[in-house]
């Protein structure tokens, strides 16, 4: 799958999702993190789960989960595992241990959902903080579980 154009869509807004659906991006990123206010996180997770289970499509869904330190990561992963093409944690302080931990969580959740382990791929947003830039070389490991990496910035 080619990912040339990615469009972030707040997962708590069905209206924005419907608009994004017809734009022609290679992937929609259902955002459970930045674009969703804390009181709407559960709604966003439920919407994301329903949207991912929709009709077949010729483009990818990605899901931007909340960071490990938020206490929301496992709930996010449980809602999307087995349905999303890719999960992304924007923590910004990635190192290979975090990727392996999230990969293990996803594998267990996929199996529990009746999918095979490894069907959800990780797209790492690897450069959101200075600490992430300094530790970026630890991500350059050809081994799974990181499927792809991309750049991100906090403004």
Domain-by-domain residue ranges, the chain? 6-150
More confident position, 22 or 53: 22
Q: Is the pLDDT of residue 146 over 50?
A: yes
Residues in CB range of 153: below 8 A, 6 or more apart = 127, 128
Strand 146-150 versus strand 60-64 pairing type = unpaired
The token pair at 105 is 């969580």
Q: Is the pLDDT of residue 11 over 80?
A: yes
**The pLDDT value given to residue 12:** 93
Q: What is the pLDDT of residue 155?
A: 47
d(C-alpha 123, C-alpha 146), whole Å: 6
Evaluate the CA torsion angle 28, 29, 35, 38 in order and state its sign: positive
**Could you give the 3-state DSSP secondary structure of residue 108?**
helix
pLDDT tens digits, one per residue of 71-126:
898 888 888 776 655 555 554 444 556 777 888 888 888 888 787 777 777 777 66
Q: Is residue 60 within 8 Å of 26, Cβ to Cβ?
A: yes
SS3 content of the chain, % helix, strand, coil (to 5): 40, 20, 45
Q: What are 8's strand-pairing partners?
A: 29
pLDDT for position 94: 47
DSSP string, 41-95: HHHHHHHHHHHHTSS--SSEEEEEPPPGGGT-HHHHHHHHTTT-SEEE---S---
- Residue 93 is predicted with a pLDDT of 47
CATH architecture of 6-150: Alpha-Beta Barrel (3.20)
């Amino acid at each position: 799958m080619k990912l040339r154009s990615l469009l972030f869509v707040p997962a708590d807004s069905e209206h924005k999702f419907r608009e994004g659906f017809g734009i022609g991006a290679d992937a929609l990123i259902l955002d459970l993190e930045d674009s969703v206010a804390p009181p709407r996180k559960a709604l966003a997770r439920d919407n994301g789960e329903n949207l991912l289970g929709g009709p077949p499509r010729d483009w990818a869904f990605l899901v931007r989960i909340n960071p490990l330190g938020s206490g929301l990561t496992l709930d996010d992963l449980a809602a999307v595992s087995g349905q999303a093409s890719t999960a992304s944690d924007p923590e910004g302080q990635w190192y290979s241990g975090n990727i392996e931990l999230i990969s293990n969580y996803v594998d267990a959740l996929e199996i529990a959902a009746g999918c095979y382990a490894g069907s959800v791929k990780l797209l790492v947003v690897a450069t959101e903080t200075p600490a992430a830039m300094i530790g970026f070389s630890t991500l350059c490991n050809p081994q799974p579980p990181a499927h792809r990496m991309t750049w991100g910035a906090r403004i």
